[in-house]
Amino acid sequence: MIIVTGGAGFIGSNIVKGLNDSGETDILIVDRLGNADKWKNLSDLRFADYEHKDDFMNGLERGLFDHGVTAVLHMGACSSTTERDADYLMANNFACSRSLALRFGRQPHIRFIYASSAATYGDGSEGYSDEHSAAWGLKPLNIYGYSKQIFDLWALRTGFLNNAVGIKYFNVYGPNEYHKGDMRSVAIRAYSQAKKTGAIRLFKSYRPEYKDGEQQRDFIYVKDAVRVTLSFLEKPEVNGLFNAGTGNPRNFNDLASAVFSALGMEPRIEYIPMPGGLEKRYQYHTAADLNKLRSTGFDCSFTSLEDGVRDYVQNYLERLDLDDQ
């Protein structure tokens, strides 16, 4: 059995879909559905069982999942970059991950892959290298990034990453993020704005080397993020921290243009001020260093921003009533 924590969430549900596409259905999904419409992400998936996160953790302590597990894909976490409750984030993103690692991660027959984040890179001043030596000097800009960073460092310090993989996802967008509210990608928010008002609003730039809307992100389509993730199931000898991005940063004007093109609309972009104080903590550029990932033999090309946005808009968003999500 493969355990997928956060299996009803954005990346997690797409990973389950990827497993299904490869013929795998012996899957235990662990999540907390709550009052949002996250449950809808499960409707087209095939899996053997579902456990509420709290029940799963209690069962873990009693040894209920000690047998028959072949892999743990730990995607479950609080992913809100604006969450201010540090104790809550440390409990969910660090302590829970540590418990899973101690239970499963040192059993050689169990493949353990977990979600880290590009938020660990902070403002990017230390670069975007996923080499282990670079991890110790990173300074995340928020407690979410820190909660991911502190687990990465624990995994390095204890040697856990000698037998596991941590994936630093960059700016992932795509289907099944509908329930995420303010944490939805810029792609889906731009789509909603274009449909409702005919215009897309982007932040003004506060640095002279970047014009308005030319701030850059490494946008990766979720289907590509899944391919990166599942590639490590096939390579149990490969371990450590790895970036999951395209290595090809694009600016927000490009993304907005891609959304308008997918909708067949004339581009109309409005530039708005950043909320107070954000300009001091804002990332103007992110770009995954893919040298380490490529060295594993992952030589697949990534979906272009234009093709990814077109697929997302035309084959998913246009078929949904987002007001009901």
Residues with catalytic annotation?
Answer: 144, 180
80, 144 in Cβ contact below 8 A? yes
Q: Give the position of tokens 């355990």.
A: 3
Q: How far is CA 5 from CA 53, 222, 223, in A?
A: 8, 17, 18
Q: Which residues pair with 202 in a beta bridge?
A: 271
Q: Which of 181, 273, 256, 194 is nearest to 219 (CA)?
A: 256
Tell me, what DSSP letter sits at residue 131? -
- Strand pairing of 219-221 and 171-173? parallel
- The residues facing 220 across adjacent strands are 172
How many Cβ atoms are within 10 Å of 59's Cβ, its own excluded? 14
Q: Report the C-alpha gap between 292 and 285 in whole angstroms.
A: 20
The vertex-287 CA angle with 86 and 253, nearest 5°, equals 100
Cα 261 to Cα 318: distance, rounded to the nearest angstrom:
13
Per-residue burial over 13-34, b if 16 or more Cβ lie within 10 Å, else e, is bbbbbbbeeeebeebbbbbebe
Residue 71: both structure tokens together: 């892999």
Name the DSSP class of 204.
P
* Measured CA distances, 153 to 120, 139, 166, 254 (Å): 11, 12, 11, 35
- How far is 89 from 84, CA to CA, in rounded Å? 8
**CA 185, CA 172: separation in Å to the nearest integer?**
7
